[in-house]
């Protein structure tokens, strides 16, 4: 039993919590001195930790046999894993194995997972950022220079206005949502663009209720007004390239002309433009912008607008991509990605040589398989083995129905997790992992704050930290360079190779962490990016044109399904559904449908309805509500009882990041 000051494992806000291990239970209190949450928590932080002491935790390695899963020793498990992976590499080549890392795991664990994949001989490593902020990485690198939030959360307190597009902030990043609401009291202006009537939309000065999938048309129409009215920040003109071309493109997006596309009245766009151009602006976005077939272009349109409004690199301003997982920023920094090496070095760039020299092996200059390709490759026979750490793709990934098929058809599947997930059920070998309370390491939050997580209790049974399991497996595979004794050893190597983390030590993180870049030892961290200029000398305005998603509504599929999350649950629900209170508040899958549509179809709240897309169908209870507009239905992806991601295809993906279209899925609706 112990007590530790650590970080909430759920969203990317990175709130500080104090964990007290009471043996069979844990007590959570908010850390009163933490600079972000300052003694507060949302419901998941307070009531979402029962999973740690759940009797359903995995406690021993399990091997699939003809009669089910049988417990085996760690020695046997690691030996079997190493022998099978070695055999598969010998028979089919290293690219026949796919490694899936996790934004729930620490920086050190993500670094090790991608290094393991590369040492094994493949760039086939990816994780759930593919389905959330891979488009942020591509979009912000191409415009601003770095794929990260430019500001600090504290900048909200100095902003004059906030523009929130595609982020249900009070439900998904509640402590930031609460900060925005508090600042409304001192006069913060608020513009919200969202098809759903989320809480902040109902509190906004202007709510732009645009149609799903029309973000670029809306953002360009705002830019059109800003330029037409001369409201842009003239001082930015010598800091950006491409203004004339950008102005030429957005010139076409007169609000009167694009109202037919967006569904937003021109006068609302003009009012919103005046507000966001009226002073220091913070722009927030999340999955409503990123999870699209045109997600990278959406992100670039956000960054473009921020640049012409001077909303980058100054106090009280910023572009804030809000991260869904506690460590999706860090898992991306560590390059659990098929096309990057740690610190955002492209695998085909010369910077690869630094890693080859440090690690002592050659790295392919070809990107590996992306997460959106891996399971199709499993079904087609190209991938013969998976090593999946802390992810549940059978529920969370697009084309989720492919996941069980792929796992059953491949020759060897390792799943490393806390629970017998829907994905683990299809494994050959299951390895029990320690939770965030049972290990040490670092995670990096949405404002680039690298924070320590600390151990408060022992893992149950024989469960082990992910980093330790990876090291055991790497050594059993005979790979050199995995002689780490602790996460600190791993961070020491990271700090030598990743410039953004160069000055990071555990001692330096002791007092609530540091925001990257931390270029040297003793550096205080960086509250705001680009205050001293842009990494390429200037930022790039990259004009983008709106085009409809490849699959759009038609007579056969007349409704748009848009997917998302609930305040009470997280990801595949594996952790939050262990909580009695969270399950009581949101016990089952629900489908929101507009009251006019429901009346026309004779559907009442509580009735079972079926929504069917070209990919598949689900059945769940209807909630009749005007929170969703006519023609749109909304459902969450937390529930195995109705796997919404079975309806999301991977045929049409973002051309830069291979992100599927999660927010515009044409469906038909009927009573079940
Ligand atoms: Fe945890 Fe996010 Fe809630 Fe903070 S806002 S308590 S990090 S889920």
Instruction: In whole angstroms, give the CA distance from residue 285 to residue 280.
Output: 17
The whole-number pLDDT of residue 259 equals 98
pLDDT higher than 90, residue 23: no
The whole-number pLDDT of residue 602 equals 97
Ligand 1 atom closest to residue 326's alpha carbon, by position in its atom list: 7
**43 Cα to the center of ligand 1, angstroms:** 8
590 has which bridge partners?
621
Ligand 1 atom closest to residue 37's alpha carbon, by position in its atom list: 4
For the segment(s) 62-132+326-453+461-503, the CATH number from 3.40.50.740, 3.40.1350.10, 3.40.50.1370, 3.40.50.300 is 3.40.50.740
Instruction: In whole angstroms, give the CA distance from residue 183 to residue 164.
Output: 14
Domain ranges in the chain are 62-132+326-453+461-503, 134-321, 559-671
**665 Cα to the center of ligand 1, angstroms:** 29
Give ligand 1 pocket residues (Cβ under 6 A).
8, 10-11, 13-15, 37, 41-42, 44-45, 173-175
**368 Cα to the center of ligand 1, angstroms:** 33
- The model's pLDDT over 416-430, given as tens digits with 9 standing for 90+, comes to 999 999 999 999 999
pLDDT, mean of residues 235-241: 94
Ligand 1 atom closest to residue 41's alpha carbon, by position in its atom list: 6
Ligand 1 atom closest to residue 45's alpha carbon, by position in its atom list: 6
How many angstroms separate the Cα of 340 from the Cα of each of 143, 350, 452, 471, 667? 18, 12, 25, 22, 36
Query: What is the full DSSP assignment across 45-112?
Result: HHH--GGGG-TTS--S-EEEETTEEEE--HHHHHHHHHHHHHHHHHHH-GGGEEEE--TTS-HHHHHH
Ligand 1 atom closest to residue 30's alpha carbon, by position in its atom list: 6
Instruction: In whole angstroms, give the CA distance from residue 564 to residue 222.
Output: 26
Ligand 1 probe mutation, 12, 42, 445, most atoms within 8 A of CB = 42
pLDDT, mean of residues 581-595: 97
Ligand 1 atom closest to residue 13's alpha carbon, by position in its atom list: 7
**16 Cα to the center of ligand 1, angstroms:** 9
Strands 318-321 and 281-285: parallel
pLDDT higher than 80, residue 460: yes
- The model's pLDDT over 295-328, given as tens digits with 9 standing for 90+, comes to 999 999 999 999 999 999 999 999 999 999 999 9
Average pLDDT, the chain: 97
**36 Cα to the center of ligand 1, angstroms:** 10
Q: Is the dihedral of CA 599, 600, 602, 608 positive or negative?
A: negative
Q: What are phi and psi of 520, to 5 degrees?
A: -155, 165
Instruction: In whole angstroms, give the CA distance from residue 257 to residue 183.
Output: 34
Q: What are phi and psi of 426, to 5 degrees?
A: -105, 10
**48 Cα to the center of ligand 1, angstroms:** 10
**19 Cα to the center of ligand 1, angstroms:** 14
230 by Cβ neighbours in 10 Å (0-12 / 13-18 / 19+) ranks as exposed
**402 Cα to the center of ligand 1, angstroms:** 32
Closest by CA to 98, choosing from 385, 359, 314, is 385
Instruction: In whole angstroms, give the CA distance from residue 186 to residue 112.
Output: 46
Percentage of residues in the chain with pLDDT exceeding 90? 99
The whole-number pLDDT of residue 106 equals 98
> How sure is the predictor about 108, in pLDDT bands with cuts at 50, 70 and 90?
very high
**1 Cα to the center of ligand 1, angstroms:** 24
ipTM over 0.85: yes
Give the residue, by CA position, lying nearest to ligand 1 atom 2: 11
How many angstroms separate the Cα of 351 from the Cα of each of 163, 346, 363, 499? 37, 8, 11, 12
How many angstroms separate the Cα of 613 from the Cα of each of 125, 219, 249, 251, 605? 30, 29, 34, 36, 21
**28 Cα to the center of ligand 1, angstroms:** 12
- Is the separation of the CB atoms in 567 and 171 below 8 Å? yes
How many angstroms separate the Cα of 350 from the Cα of each of 339, 355, 497? 13, 10, 14
- The model's pLDDT over 341-353, given as tens digits with 9 standing for 90+, comes to 999 999 999 999 9
pLDDT, mean of residues 53-70: 97
Ligand 1 probe mutation, 37, 284, 570, most atoms within 8 A of CB = 37
**46 Cα to the center of ligand 1, angstroms:** 9
**11 Cα to the center of ligand 1, angstroms:** 5
The whole-number pLDDT of residue 504 equals 98
**9 Cα to the center of ligand 1, angstroms:** 8
**204 Cα to the center of ligand 1, angstroms:** 23
Ligand 1 atom closest to residue 7's alpha carbon, by position in its atom list: 7
Counting Cα atoms < 13 Å in the Cβ hemisphere of 400 gives 27
- Is the separation of the CB atoms in 456 and 19 below 8 Å? yes
Give the residue, by CA position, lying nearest to ligand 1 atom 6: 45
pLDDT, mean of residues 624-642: 97
Ligand 1 probe mutation, 41, 46, 104, most atoms within 8 A of CB = 41
The whole-number pLDDT of residue 1 equals 65
Closest by CA to 364, choosing from 118, 98, 127, 90, is 118
**256 Cα to the center of ligand 1, angstroms:** 40
Note the Cα 452 to chain centre separation in Å.
Answer: 20
Instruction: In whole angstroms, give the CA distance from residue 102 to residue 334.
Output: 11
Ligand 1 atom closest to residue 11's alpha carbon, by position in its atom list: 2
Note the Cα 625 to chain centre separation in Å.
Answer: 28
**40 Cα to the center of ligand 1, angstroms:** 9
- Is the separation of the CB atoms in 487 and 442 below 8 Å? yes
Query: Would you give the DSSP letter of residue 166?
Result: S
Ligand 1 probe mutation, 9, 34, 44, most atoms within 8 A of CB = 44
The whole-number pLDDT of residue 76 equals 98
- The model's pLDDT over 118-167, given as tens digits with 9 standing for 90+, comes to 999 999 999 999 999 999 999 999 999 999 999 999 999 999 999 999 99
Instruction: In whole angstroms, give the CA distance from residue 372 to residue 129.
Output: 11
The CATH architecture that domain 134-321 belongs to is: 3-Layer(aba) Sandwich (3.40)
Give the residue, by CA position, lying nearest to ligand 1 atom 3: 42
Ligand 1 probe mutation, 9, 12, 39, 175, most atoms within 8 A of CB = 175
Ligand 1 probe mutation, 8, 16, 38, 329, most atoms within 8 A of CB = 8
Ligand 1 atom closest to residue 570's alpha carbon, by position in its atom list: 8
Percentage of residues in the chain with pLDDT exceeding 70? 100
**41 Cα to the center of ligand 1, angstroms:** 6
Ligand 1 probe mutation, 173, 325, 444, 567, most atoms within 8 A of CB = 173
Residue 611's CB is within 10 A of a number of other CB atoms, namely 26
Residue 552, C-beta contacts closer than 8 angstroms, at least 6 positions apart: 213, 664, 666
- Find the Cα–Cα–Cα–Cα dihedral 375, 381, 385, 389, rounded to 10°: 0
- Is the separation of the CB atoms in 164 and 288 below 8 Å? no
Ligand 1 probe mutation, 7, 15, 176, most atoms within 8 A of CB = 15
Widest CA span in the chain: 72
**What CATH code is assigned to 559-671?**
2.40.40.20
Using N-to-C axis directions, what is the helix angle for 402-409 and 371-380, rounded to 10°? 50
Give the residue, by CA position, lying nearest to ligand 1 atom 4: 15
Instruction: In whole angstroms, give the CA distance from residue 21 to residue 23.
Output: 6
Instruction: In whole angstroms, give the CA distance from residue 125 to residue 123.
Output: 6
Residue 66, C-beta contacts closer than 8 angstroms, at least 6 positions apart: none
How many angstroms separate the Cα of 123 from the Cα of each of 21, 36, 103, 332, 371? 40, 36, 18, 14, 12
């Amino acid at each position: 039993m112990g007590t530790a000051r650590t970080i909430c494992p759920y969203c990317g806000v990175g709130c500080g919590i104090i964990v007290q291990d009471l043996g069979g239970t844990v007590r959570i209190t908010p850390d009163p001195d933490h600079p972000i949450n300052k003694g507060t928590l949302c419901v998941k932080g307070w009531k979402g930790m029962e999973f740690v002491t759940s009797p359903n935790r995995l406690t021993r390695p399990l091997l699939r046999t003809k009669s089910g899963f049988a417990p085996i020793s760690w020695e046997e498990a690691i030996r079997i894993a190493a022998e099978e992976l070695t055999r598969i590499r010998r028979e089919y080549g290293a690219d026949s194995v796919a490694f899936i890392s996790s934004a729930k795991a620490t920086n050190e664990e993500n670094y090790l997972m991608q290094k393991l994949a590369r040492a094994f001989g493949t760039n086939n490593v990816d994780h759930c950022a593919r389905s959330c902020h891979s488009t942020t990485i591509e979009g912000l690198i191409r415009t601003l220079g770095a794929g990260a939030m430019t500001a600090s959360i504290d900048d909200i307190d100095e902003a004059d206005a906030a523009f929130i597009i595609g982020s249900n902030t009070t439900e998904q990043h509640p402590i930031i949502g609460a900060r925005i609401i508090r600042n409304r009291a001192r006069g913060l202006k608020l513009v919200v663009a969202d098809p759903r009537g989320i809480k902040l939309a109902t509190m906004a000065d202007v709510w732009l209720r645009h149609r799903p999938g029309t973000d670029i048309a809306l953002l360009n129409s705002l830019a059109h007004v800003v330029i037409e009215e001369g409201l842009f920040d003239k001082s930015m003109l010598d800091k950006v390239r491409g203004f004339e071309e950008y102005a030429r493109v957005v010139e076409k997006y007169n609000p009167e002309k694009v109202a037919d596309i967006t569904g937003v009245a021109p006068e609302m766009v003009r009012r919103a433009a005046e507000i966001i151009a009226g002073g220091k602006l913070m722009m927030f976005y999340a999955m409503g912008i990123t999870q699209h077939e045109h997600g990278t272009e959406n992100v670039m349109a956000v960054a473009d607008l921020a640049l012409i409004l001077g909303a980058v690199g100054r106090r009280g301003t910023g572009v804030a991509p809000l991260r869904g997982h506690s460590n999706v920023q860090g898992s991306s920094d560590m390059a659990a990605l098929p096309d990057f090496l740690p610190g955002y070095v492209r695998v085909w760039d010369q910077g690869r040589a630094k890693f080859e020299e440090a690690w002592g092996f050659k790295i392919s200059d070809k990107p590996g398989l992306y997460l959106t390709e891996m399971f199709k490759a499993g079904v087609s026979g190209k991938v013969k083995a998976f090593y999946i750490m802390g992810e549940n793709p059978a529920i969370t990934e697009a084309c989720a129905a492919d996941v069980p098929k792929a796992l059953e058809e491949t020759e060897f599947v390792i799943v490393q997790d806390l629970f017998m997930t829907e994905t683990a059920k299809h494994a050959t070998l299951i390895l029990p992992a320690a939770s965030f309370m049972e290990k040490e390491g670092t995670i990096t939050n949405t404002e680039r704050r690298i924070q320590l997580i600390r151990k408060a209790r022992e893992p149950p049974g024989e469960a082990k930290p992910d980093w330790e399991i990876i090291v055991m497996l790497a050594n059993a595979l005979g790979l050199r360079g995995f002689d780490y004794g602790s996460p600190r050893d791993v961070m020491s190597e990271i700090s030598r190779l990743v410039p953004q983390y160069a000055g990071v030590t555990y001692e330096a993180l002791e007092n609530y962490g540091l925001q990257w870049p931390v270029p040297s030892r003793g550096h205080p961290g960086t509250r705001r990016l680009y205050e001293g200029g842009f990494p390429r000398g200037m930022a790039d305005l990259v004009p983008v044109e709106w085009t409809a998603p490849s699959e759009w509504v038609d007579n056969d599929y007349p409704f748009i399904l848009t997917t998302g999350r609930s305040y009470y649950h997280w990801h595949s629900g594996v952790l939050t559904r262990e909580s009695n209170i969270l399950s009581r508040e949101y016990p089952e899958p629900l489908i929101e449908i507009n009251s006019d549509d429901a009346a026309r179809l004779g559907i009442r709240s509580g009735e079972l309805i079926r929504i069917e897309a070209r990919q598949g169908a689900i059945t769940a209870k209807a909630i009749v509500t005007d929170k969703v507009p006519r023609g749109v239905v909304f459902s969450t992806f937390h529930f195995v009882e109705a796997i919404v991601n079975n309806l999301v295809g991977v045929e049409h993906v973002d051309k830069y990041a291979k992100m599927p279209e999660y927010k515009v899925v044409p469906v038909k609706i009927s009573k079940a």
